[in-house]
Structure 1
Amino acid sequence: MRRRRGEFADDEYVVVRCRPHWRALAWPVLVLFVFAAGLGVLLAALPATVKPVGTWVLVAVFAFLAVALVLLPVLRWASTTYTITSRRIMVRTGLLRRAGVDVALNRVSEVSYRRSLADRLFGSGTVLVATHGPTPLQLRSVPDLAGVRRVLGELVYVADAEQYRDM
């Protein structure tokens, strides 16, 4: 695994690295198919009197809607990563303007989860990490929710035990 200089401590290692569940891409792909079918129907039904200009207008509207409703959600999905290391939880988002949140495991006070019916069908869900801060950290649409919760619970337990041992 490639490590960026300064990203991890010497004794820190990656336990889980994932993106949001692939089902987050289902709606954008469905929208793309519906738009493509709609564009085909509209181009076929376009009167010959407005053909050259009307065709370009329809294609431009389709391209704008496709970028807004398909490409942006796909890029948002592709640029979001959840990383759990032996010391912390890292969330990275954004393509052009990157943002990140790091939470040390010894600052975690509670790990809980939320699952909708669709989440249960796909084995995904939202992990809520309560810290000593005001708002909990939310990892949305995490694939293999049960495995991530188990690993996170074990790591928090070990970090908590080490914290009390050092006192």
Structure 2
Amino acid sequence: MRTLLFTYIILLFAVNASLGQATIVVKNDPMPEEILLQAKHYADIFGFKDDVLIVISFSHSVSKINSGYTLYQNVQHLGGGHQVHIIISKREDRNFQFYTLAHEMVHAQQFVEGKLVKCGDSFFSWKGDKCLNTRYIAYHHRPWEKEAHKLGTKLYQEYRKTKQMLASH
């Protein structure tokens, strides 16, 4: 099964690469269509190209203090591109999962553009500044979280308005 999924992702990556679009895969969600539409909408806004692979997974193992998180790996030096894995809590209601996706897609953009760089286990650099130990910075004081909250909220609200307008026509 794992080989089949990997083959599917490779094929999907090849198709989207020929279109110049990011590849987005949704896992462990019973109704992935809306998540995929929303993620593609944000990827287009951020200008993600064919060198970006985004895997969005839903899990019960997300800590109770988080609604989601983003993992990032740059494999351009190996002939690949940007790999983003967004994990969203299955415990949250659907609307909050949608908001969390917008928030985490902002983090994806921060990583892909090099504004946010992971320097070590809990160390991050923001916009080229020195690496900071996040253990000593409250979540709501981290500049990348402030940006993700502000922009993620705006993106999600605009997405909902666009969706409502399309539904009314």
Measured against the shorter chain, the TM-score band is: under 0.3
TM-score (norm 2): 0.27
Higher RCO, Cα 8 Å, sep 6+:
1
Tell which structure's C-alpha radius of gyration is larger: 1
